[in-house]
Each structure stands twice: as structure tokens, then as C-alpha cells.
Amino acid sequence: MNWAIIGLLLVGLAQGIASVACWNLLTHPVSRALPGVLTLAYYGAMWQWPHPSITAARTGQPYPDGDQVRLMLLGSALIVGIVLLVRALARKGRG
């Protein structure tokens, strides 16, 4: 299995969580909308120009293990960091 694809999915999930958090917690219209717009642009770019791990999975070629581990760790770190940040901000906002 190509774990790099799961890492890319985690990165996308982290972007989604951050976009929703910005929409819910920020007040200025630009700061609320910009993360979501950039996330949509990211997904559009990934559709137009797929990551090499996606291309490798489509063609059945092996993908380097080191890159797979790095992408999994990146995605996991982003998810954990953003979830903790959102929880802290929400707690602070409640008073």
C-alpha cells in the first residue's frame, strides 16, 4: 500500500479542519473565506497535477518508503496540531 496517499489525505483533512475553524472563529470576511478558497485551489491543483505518489499508485509503480513515512508524519502532525489549536481557541473563546 502507498502510505503517502494516506498522508496526502491527512493533509487535506487538516486543511479542511483549519478552514472550518477559521470560518467559525474569525470575524473578518477575508480571513474567514481565504483558507477555504486556498484549500479548494489545492484540491484543484492536485487534480490537475497529481502528486508523484498518486501517479505511482495509478501505474502500480513502487514509491520510496522514506517519502511515504514523511508524508504520513506530516499529515498526522498537521491533524494533531490543528485539532489542539482549534480546541484551545474554542475554549478561550468560551471564556
- Ordered by start, the domain boundaries in the chain are 3-94
pLDDT at 49: 94
What are the pLDDT digits (tens) for 47-93? 999 999 889 988 999 889 988 899 899 989 999 989 888 888 888 77
* Helix orientation angle between 65-94 and 3-25, rounded to the nearest 10 degrees: 20
Those residues whose C-beta lies under 8 Å from the C-beta of residue 94, and which sit 6 or more positions away, are: none
- Supply the pTM of this predicted model: 0.79
Are residues 5 and 54 in contact, defined by beta-carbon separation less than 8 angstroms?
A: yes
What are the pLDDT digits (tens) for 14-58? 998 889 988 888 888 998 999 999 989 988 998 999 999 889 988
Are residues 18 and 42 in contact, defined by beta-carbon separation less than 8 angstroms?
A: no
